[in-house]
Structure 1
Amino acid sequence: MIEALAGLRWHFLTNDKGYQIRAATIMPHGKAKGCVLLLHGLSEFTEKYYEVITDLIKRDMMVVTFDWVGQGGSENIITNSQKRHTQGFDQDVADIDKIYHELLIPLLPKKDFPKYMIAHSMGGHLGLRYLAEGHADNFAAAAFSAPMLGIASVEAIAAPIRKRIFAFAERMLDKSYVPGGTDWTGLERAMPGHSIFSSDKERDSWQNAWCKKNEKLKDGAATWGWLREAYKSCQYMAQEDILKRITTPVFIAYAGKEALVSNNAITTALKIIPRVKGAFLPLAKHEILMESNNIRNQFWAGFDIMISNLATHPH
């Protein structure tokens, strides 16, 4: 596990709702070839991505990343609680724009400097939504790991029942844990490599290791409020006219052993997004960037080819 990154700078910004966002930037050792905005998944944090950041530095990329409000080193939404609640997905998208304009743009050496996005799971959902909502030209290309365009457990419930459950939860349970949810225990990753997240023993251990080092990084389960907002945003992103607005060149890798997000929603999006290439990784679990080297290398190959193609055929 990489425990520190030389040259990493921490930044603290306040969003439109008054919540503090913890962000980080780092420069490559030589001349930068581009800048990557890195977006994490649910209950993740910057420290967990030190290896990914290192991979990008080796590619001569500047990196800008941040912890979503409600997790990591950013401000909690429910004070003194490990509950992963939500400020609203619309505000999360607004936070991307804040980071883009206030942190990423000032780093760039020139106006037309290449900018890329890499995003995982919930971060992938929010990144795609950001592109769809008028920001497709902000990035030269974007790569996604198992983007949360649908939630597997919710998709398994019949639509009419789903609607009634969320209506009741909104009235009565908004800030309560989802069924079976508790404060952080670390049990879901108690046997690294055998969890639903990754088959790689070492990388699957990093989330718990960091949480034991820093209590602030511990998140329990999501709340009903988070699940409701996530579901609503997934319904919104399922619309064909919304997906067609994503004109950015896009690469999407998705996992054969997926247990958290909906592969059906991903494969549907692959048929609609105008400039998209998909890669199905049959042996991968959900956290593709935290998987074995063979699986991770397939993601990085897709990213590298996309960047190379842009350099050869910019339009």
Structure 2
Amino acid sequence: MDAPLYALSPEHLTFGGEKTLGFFEGHDGIRLRYAIFRPDHATPRGTVVIVQGRNECIEKYLETIRDLTAAGFVVATFDLRGQALSGRLGRNPRAGHVRHFRDYLADVDHFLSAIVEPAAAQPIHILAHSLGGLIALSLAPRLGARISRMVVSAPLVGLSGLPVSPRLAFSVAAFFSTFGLGEKPLGKERGAMPFDGNPLTSCPTRFGDFSRLRETHSDLGIGPPTARWLNEIRKAMTRVLRPEHLTGITIPTLILAPALDGVVPFTAMEGLARRFRAGRLIPIPGARHELLMEQDRYRAQALAAILAFLPEKTEPLTD
């Protein structure tokens, strides 16, 4: 079944090669929207699987997808469960909810095995942002024989910028989850985020374009996270930072760390890199959380690092 793909103008949907849009059945039968974009190259350089962040969608990555396909990569991605045009969860479809963090992992695993691997160009890499970075790092010990290299941009290994301290927010989330109130949103849904003072990007053009797209297609967005979502994230961050977990990751990994990130503390990303023998940290001074939506001077650094890190040819994978 075909899936829609939105844009502010037809030019935003212009790619050199073919694209495939559709839905696939994720873990426990939920319907997930996916897309595959192919370069206009006889022999692709490989495949990049983009694992999205919270409250993101395929449309947010169209510019990056054009950059990657122009570099010769096939690009595959899907909307995470509970957001954008994938199946929503819980009684309030606008709430950012998940029942179990492991459901995200099962969806990525199934996407790889059912959609990507049967037809993708080798080698296969992962590019993951924020929540997607936490998902990729959580799943990585089981992907050594399937994924060649991994890039995590501002991986969600800590939280900052909350109205209250992270410790209090996590305590409230755990309390609500324990007593059957896990679907309670932690906050009220407000209007569009103003550009001034936003923690995501210093680029007014990219910020404005995506804000207008969300206004035109409100089904692409979600509201505040639920208590259950935040509690599941807390537990996942604790697990992924354990030395025994990081030791089990053999995939060479690039950690792109915006120095002015207002969502994930830079110190948390530094701490991840110190304990992660397969990981290498590249700080981007001056950049905020969404590196691939940043001003050109920051975004170009991130994109150059990604393309330099991904190999030109297939490498033998580590078991």
Establish whether TM, by shorter chain, passes 0.5.
yes
What stretches of structure 1 of length at least 5 have no aligned partner?
A: none
Are 1:173 and 2:181 an aligned pair?
A: yes
Match of 1:122 in 2: 131
| Runs of 4+ in structure 1 over 3 Å off | 156-159, 161-164, 308-315
2 CA distance for matches of 1:44 and 1:158? 22
Secondary structure, aligned partner of 1:21: strand
Find 1:140's aligned residue among 144, 148, 164.
148
Matched residue type, 2:79: D
The aligned runs of 1:58-77 (5 Å cut-off) are 58-77=70-89
Matched residue type, 1:77: L
Secondary structure, aligned partner of 1:142: strand
2 CA distance for matches of 1:273 and 1:87? 28
The aligned runs of 1:232-251 (5 Å cut-off) are 232-251=235-254
Match of 1:302 in 2: 305
Q: How many corresponding residue pairs? A: 305
Matched residue type, 2:208: S
Secondary structure, aligned partner of 1:279: strand
Post-superposition shift, 1:172?
5.2
Cα deviation code 1:134-165 (max 9, x no counterpart): 112321111111000122257x8485x56643
Contact 1:27 1:57 in 2 (8 A): yes
* CA 1:305–1:12: 2 relative to 1, 3 Å: same
Match of 2:258 in 1: 255
C-alpha RMSD over aligned residues:
2.4
Post-superposition shift, 1:206?
3.1
Are 1:266 and 2:246 an aligned pair?
A: no
Match of 2:232 in 1: 229
Post-superposition shift, 1:255?
1.2
What stretches of structure 2 of length at least 5 have no aligned partner?
A: 1-7
Matched residue type, 2:181: L
Secondary structure, aligned partner of 2:88: coil
TM-score under structure 2 length normalisation: 0.88
Find 1:17's aligned residue among 15, 18, 28.
28
Are 1:95 and 2:104 an aligned pair?
A: no
Contact 1:39 1:123 in 2 (8 A): yes
Matched residue type, 1:185: G
Contact 1:24 1:64 in 2 (8 A): yes
Are 1:106 and 2:118 an aligned pair?
A: yes
Match of 1:185 in 2: 191
* CA 1:271–1:19: 2 relative to 1, 3 Å: same
TM-score under structure 1 length normalisation: 0.89
1 CA distance for matches of 2:103 and 2:20? 24
* CA 1:80–1:214: 2 relative to 1, 3 Å: farther
